[in-house]
A and B are shown apart, each in its own frame.
Chain A
Amino acid sequence: MTADLAQLFEQYYAPLVRMLYRRTGDRDRAEELAQETFARAVAAPPDNPRPWLFAVALNLVREEGRQASTRGRKLELLRAETDRPTDGPEADFQRGEDTARIRAALATLGERDREALLLKAEGFNYEEIATTLGLARGAVGTTLARARRRLVEAYRAQERGKHVAS
């Protein structure tokens, strides 16, 4: 591994894992996918590493999603990880439920909208989001507007459903 790649790894590993965890809901898988992304960077060092790494990582998630659909692993997306409890069982349960609702709300978004939202959360500007997702720069604002609105509306709908059920 060259020094440049080591620097890339140190710089982007944590944001990649964080984004992949938000996308997949599976920390171990997120770390595996991040490793796989960097392994591909070793094979073909990118010129513009940040959009390249995130684009490859998102492609891997999509590819895995297609394979997972045949292996019945879809539920991973909605699985709430509640290992390592820290605030007591009630707080952990509440947090797990909320996280599951947010993931469910994220799952209602279109693929592009969700990815644009996750990249924005990692501090990407519009230019980088456009490069990573292959969008026109002028379309990023509209994509993010749609994604944010749908996410909030889906989450609120679930909140209402929770209150009605209780």
Chain B
Amino acid sequence: MSHLDEGTLHALLDGELEVTEVKEIQAHLGSCTSCGSRLREVKEFLGESDRLVAAVQFPGSHSHPGAAAQATAAPPAPRRREINRELSSYDGPPPPLLLPDNPDAGQFHWRWLGGLRWVALVALAVGAGYIANEFRRGDDTQSALETRELAPIASAPQDAVVSPEEAAQADGGDTPRPESAAPAREQPRQSAGTRGAVRPAPEPAPPPAAPREEPQGPADGLEEIVESNEAEPDAGDDASAVDRRRAAAATAALDRDRRRSQAAAATAALDSLERLREAQERAAAAARSAPPAAPAPRTLEQRAQIYLRIGLDEAARQLGRPVHVIEGLSPLFMGLAQGRYSPGADDTRPVVRVVYQDSRGRLILLDQQRIRPGQTASAPGTAEPHWTLGEITLHLHGEVNAGALGSLRPRVR
């Protein structure tokens, strides 16, 4: 076997090599003094660098990084206290997570301006629509006025060209008019009168048309047109009046058809909504009757309730001595678990938990916690093995039964 490279030695000390690799390396180290001395050097670098990194603590803590760095053979207890202090500085509940967090706090007002921009766009669109509608209505009114004025001129020019006296006579009310048509007639008559006032009257106008009956049953949208037709000064023409009534009746019939089709569409929509609601109810009933979905697979850390994985060195620092293991079993990993999840442990401090897995995939957990001076070990009151070795309380539990755990206890070293 060739000489060991530095990366392999670090992996060895970090506990990252397989058992077979470790055996090979141990065999080589037993016969190679050069690699043995390099291993000692690597161990020194590793220990010192770990201490240096750990010495960068939150402000206000009591550690002394220089002392920690200089003392290669520093006593374990003060070092452990430093780490405990460091960890305990965040033992309390973490601060609330501020959501949604803002990676660019300086751009906050830009987002506000972006929102205002949208509001301004909407307001502009509404305003433009309103103005366009006003223009269109104005055009409609103008065209209606022109239609009302030009039609009599085209059909009977003698009606439009009236003298002011005739206009005044027409407005005077000598001629009876239907009450419902009076307001609509007022404007065109005034307009015609104004035009007549500025134009010469070549010949006298005939007397106003006699009152006639209202067309029956015009649609709402047609009332204005019908009224305007009625308001024409020459509405006495029987033929055109009959044509207008027929047109109005035909349009009203079309309007009724349109309303019927709208009502049918609305009824169909109601039916489809009803069908949709029934489908949703059927789906909900099926979901209720279906078996619950299988939960998402949990990770080994979650199953073992470990919140932080640690290595052998950190475990030894936590306990003040090398970690206890079960002889003959290979640990999956080790880490820190909250004390309240370990029966009989001090629930204010974490426990070191070594995690094993049996051939059926069940987890076996070996919890270890150092007893503080003055602390009395308490029995958990369970059938699981719980005992004390020196300053360490141990608790063996997991997903196997207490009998199997009891058989493992003598193998804990």
Q: Which residues of A contact B (CB under 8 A)?
A: 1, 9-11, 13-15, 17-18, 21-22, 25, 27, 31, 35-36, 38-39, 42, 81-84, 86-87, 91, 94-95, 97-99, 101-103, 105-106, 117-118, 120-126, 128, 139-149, 151-152, 155
Contacts and interface: CB of A to CB of B under 8 A. Distances in A.
Nearest to B307: A11
Contact of B335 (A91, A123, A145, A151): A123
Interface string B82-123: 000011001101110111110100000000000000000000
Contact of B311 (A84, A123, A143): A123
With most chain B CB atoms within 10 A of its CB, the pick from A1, A117, A152 is: A152
A142 B6 contact: yes
Contacts, number: 148
Contacts of B103: 36
Given A14-B87, A102-B56, A141 B10 contact: yes
Contact of B308 (A21, A86, A123): A123
B94 A83 contact: no
28 contacts: A13-B90, A14-B87, A14-B94, A18-B58, A21-B56, A22-B53, A35-B97, A39-B97, A39-B99, A42-B100, A84-B60, A98-B55, A98-B65, A102-B69, A105-B52, A121-B50, A125-B16, A126-B11, A126-B14, A128-B309, A140-B16, A142-B5, A146-B6, A147-B49, A149-B49, A152-B45, A152-B52, A155-B52
Interface residues of B, number: 52
A10 B65 contact: no
The 10 closest A-B pairs by CB, nearest first: A39-B101, A141-B7, A14-B90, A142-B7, A84-B60, A98-B66, A148-B49, A141-B11, A13-B94, A81-B59
B277 interface: no
B59 A103 contact: no
Interface in B44-73: 45-46, 48-50, 52-66, 69
A38 B11 contact: no
Contact of B69 (A35, A42, A139, A155): A155
With most chain A CB atoms within 10 A of its CB, the pick from B5, B91, B94 is: B94
B159 interface: no
B308 A15 contact: yes
B17 to A, nearest CB: 9
B9 interface: yes
Contact of B7 (A38, A120, A145): A145
B42 interface: yes
B310 interface: yes
